[in-house]
Structure 1
Amino acid sequence: MNVHAAVATVNPPFRAEHVGSLLRPAELLRQRERFERGEIDRDALTVAEDQAIRDAIRLQEQLGFKFVTDGEFRRRSYHSFFYRQLGDLSIDTIGGADAVGAKDGGGRGAQPMALIRSRVKWTHPINGPDVAFLKANSERLPKITIPGPCALHFRGGDAAVTASAYKDTDQFWSDTVEAFTLELKSLADAGCSYVQIDETAFAKFGDPDVQASLAARGDNWSELIDKYIAVTNRVLRAAPPNMRIGMHLCRGNRGGHWHAEGSYEEVAERLFNALEIPFYFLEYDTPRAGSFTPLRYVPARKHIVLGLVSSKSPVIEDKAALRSRLEDATKFVPLDRLSVSPQCGFASVDTGNPVTPEVQKRKLALVCELARDIWSDT
């Protein structure tokens, strides 16, 4: 690999990235439990959240990231808070998240399910206050993470859409596109120019078990890919023109468990070409994601963030091995269009993955060190 051959990045995605969520500090979890028991009020909980987020900002700055997130510390999960702001909508696991055949927290977990009891409607800025807090506490670029516009449908299908709130799915999709369009506009108005959409469905379509479960509810998985691309493109075309929007894909990340396995091969050509998104955060930390071969479909105008470091495992990756994997990826995408990151967040739900804060810090530091070694830039 020609070290330092690639030019420095000045706009997202940066050479060193992370997906957004961070382990909730033990004290914050304790205060949240007190709040739920009625022992403290909302103002006291907000004070605890504010301090935890300031500490997370300092950590990201110390390690060398060019952007900051709030660690998603004000949310239970990356998707539940957001969709609750859009109506009487539930997008969380029903019946628990126990893993099938789990060994040390590494098995297939229960797929979250959706309940749609009202129409999807944007009524107020959802993440605008988060932007304001980040901007008030750091000079680095604020990055906001939101679930994708197809996340709700993927977890319930047409049956969930039409169970009580809608007579047809076309209205549901129109409402969803409008809600996301208004939220992106409100983010731009708040001064946000960097947004990551978490749309994990695309990475799961290659799993035969997922394909079978979709078929059982009446969905053709291949047709669903085209539908989700079309819906997402409607959102992207209506987005503020100066906003940098990337998409994160993974196969599940809950308490060290996963929801799917399989290569990107079956979705890659459409994912990288028909979907009008300029950069992707791709899970590539285990063999469950397959090889880099599907990256041959990535067009020259697009950038790939390789999720090579695991947020699920406490094992610290070998930097030389990561460099070797990066070199393998350059057979399909040149170095100047690659970045590195963990494969997902460290706490897609507030209980977090089975790693310690120290392991999290070492893994994030490793990402930054690798980026500096290869590009002299993070």
Structure 2
Amino acid sequence: MSRNLVHYDIVGSFLRPAELKQARADFAAKKISKDDLKKVEDEEIKKLVAKEEKAGLKIVTDGEFRRSYWHLDTFWGFGGIKHTKQEHGYFFHDEETRNDSAQVEGKIEFTGDHPDLEAFKYLKSITDSSDVTPRQSIPSPAQFYAELVRGPENVTAVKKFYSSEDELLDDISKAYRDLILALYDAGCRDVKLDDCTWGMVVDDDFWATMVKQGFDRDDLEKKYLRVNNGALVDLPDDLRVSTHICRGNYHSTWAAKGGYGPVAKYVFAQENVDAFYLEFDNKRSGSFDPIKEVPAGKEVVLGLVTSKKPELEKPDDLITRVKEAAQFHDLQELALSTQCGFASTEEGNQLTEEEQWKKIALVIDTAKQIWA
């Protein structure tokens, strides 16, 4: 698809305002109704979008204000999936997350009624009179698959309803494609697939543990590519699909390390998306060299500004790094962003809302210097 590149962007999640946090706590304590919570969500999303537009962003999101997690809420919205708890959450560098999970309880399907679809419809309604593009971010199909086989209980549940992995992967792809088409019918022209699976695959320490559990790295990469691309077949030409590849972002901590080299020949060279949003804000992320595998004509959005810390990067340093990346991918097909969102879960990262907006201003101002 053709598109005039803006050259600056965001990943999508924003720190939850105090009013929203209080409303979610009151709803959990059964002090307010679901409708009452929705009213607060609507109002806070409206305020957020106004701030995004004022900041100069051309692509806006609802901040993921209706979600607890960047990924699990989407999974729970599909038919055949139930909300479960595991013995442990996800293990990050300094913390363990909450222990929620998603588990198969029937054949997986998009039922036509999904929280992400309803969330987008509201975002669309409040941006119709402006010139910004409303984006819907959803976790990738590969991320869904990874959750469904996370731990023995989830694997056992899958085997009750699926006789083969081929059937499971096909159903995941179809459910996702149906959701994407429903979003398109609701007016969505920008969908982003958030994906930590590739970021985990590149971590050698993580893989030492996975090998002990019987996983094969090459085989899993092929499955991830298959299930993602299976959801992206025969989509409308005017729908921009991108993917954000991350190594974990929870309360300013991280889950994995390693450069993109081991997965570049799969995801960069072969995934059927228009743009790649990539984490490059620290030494854990490796060099820019792997982005040479991204085909010409596709955008690479460099996540050089960290969303994990309040300290502002120096514009000159960012400009230098963008020029380094341009040795491996055309400068005119590069863009600048934060490496991830500011609140992949409702806990949020350890910085203030004011510091969050300063980060975004830095991205925009620096990009305008590079791509004047």
**How far apart in 2 are the matches of 1:93 and 1:49?**
28
RMSD of aligned alpha carbons: 2.3
One-letter code of the match for 2:341?
G
- From the superposition, tell whether residues 249 and 137 of structure 1 become closer, same or farther in structure 2 (CA, over 3 Å): same
Query: Please, which of 282, 298, 318 is the counterpart of residue 294 of structure 2?
Result: 298
User: Which stretch shifts more, 44-53 or 158-167?
Assistant: 158-167
Q: Is the 8 A contact 1:20 1:71 kept in 2?
A: yes
- Matching of residues 304-343 of structure 1 within 5 Å: 304-343=300-339
Match of residue 34 from structure 1: 26
Contact 1:12 1:244 in 2 (8 A): no
Structure 1 unpaired stretches of 5+: 1-8
- Where structure 2 has 5 or more consecutive residues not aligned to the other structure, the ranges are none
Tell whether the 8 Å contact from 1:79 to 1:146 is kept in structure 2 after alignment: yes
Q: CA deviation at 1:214?
A: 2.2
Higher mean alpha-carbon deviation, 64-73 vs 128-137, is at 128-137
Whole-angstrom distance in 2 between the partners of 1:68 and 1:54: 11
Equivalent residues of 1:114, 1:153 under 8 A apart: no
1:115: which partner in 2? 103
Q: Note the 1:95-114 alignment, pairs <5 A.
A: 95-96=88-89, 99-100=92-93, 102=94
Q: In 2, distance between residues paired with 1:175 and 1:277?
A: 20
> How far is 1:213 from its partner?
2.5
Contact 1:125 1:186 in 2 (8 A): no
Distance 2:98 2:265 in 1: 28
Offset, 1:340:
0.7
Q: Give 1:93 shift.
A: 7.0
User: Which of these residues, 117, 129, 135, is aligned with residue 128 of structure 1?
Assistant: 117
The CA deviation string for residues 340-375 of structure 1, in whole angstroms up to 9 with x for no partner, is: 111111111011111110110100111111122222
Structure-1 residue corresponding to 2:76? 84
SS in structure 1 at match of 2:231: helix
> d(CA) in 2 for partners of 1:197 and 1:91?
23
TM-score, length of structure 1 as denominator length: 0.90
For residue 266 of structure 1, what is the aligned residue in structure 2?
Answer: 262
Is the 2:176–2:231 Cα contact (8 Å) retained in structure 1? yes
Q: Corresponding residue for 2:347?
A: 351
Matched with 1:52 is 44
TM-score, scaled relative to structure 2: 0.91
Segment drifting more, 153-162 vs 313-322? 153-162
114-123 vs 53-62, greater mean Cα deviation: 114-123
Distance change >3 Å, CA 63–CA 375, structure 1 → 2: same
Change (3 A) 1:259 1:224: same
Write the distance in 1 (CA, Å) between the matches of 2:365 and 2:273. Answer: 27
Report how far residue 227 of structure 1 moved: 1.6
Using the alignment, how far apart are the partners of 1:249 and 1:307 within structure 2?
Answer: 10
State the Cα deviation string for residues 135-162 of structure 1 (Å, max 9, x = none): 2212211100001011122235386343
Residue type at the aligned position of 1:64 = G
Query: Take 2:81 and 2:283, find their aligned partners in 1: how far apart are those partners?
Result: 38
For 2:54, the equivalent position in structure 1 comes to: 62
Residue 169 of structure 2: which of 160, 168, 173 is its match? 173
The residue aligned with 1:153 is 145
Using the alignment, how far apart are the partners of 2:2 and 2:361 within structure 1? 20
How many pairs are equivalent?
Answer: 363
What SS does the aligned partner of 1:34 have? helix
Distance 1:319 1:255 in 2: 25
Cα distance change on mapping 1:94 and 1:120 into 2, 3 Å: farther
Report Cα offsets for 1:258-305 as digits up to 9, x if no partner: 111001011112222122222100000111000111122222122100
Which whole-Å CA distance do the structure 1 matches of 2:73 and 2:107 have between them?
16
Q: With CA pairs under 8 Å and 6+ residues apart, which has the higher RCO, 1 or 2?
A: 1
Matched, 1:137 2:126: yes
The Cα shift of 1:178 comes to 1.2
Q: Distance in 1 between matches of 2:15 and 2:363?
A: 17
Q: Which residue of 2 aligns with 1:228?
A: 224
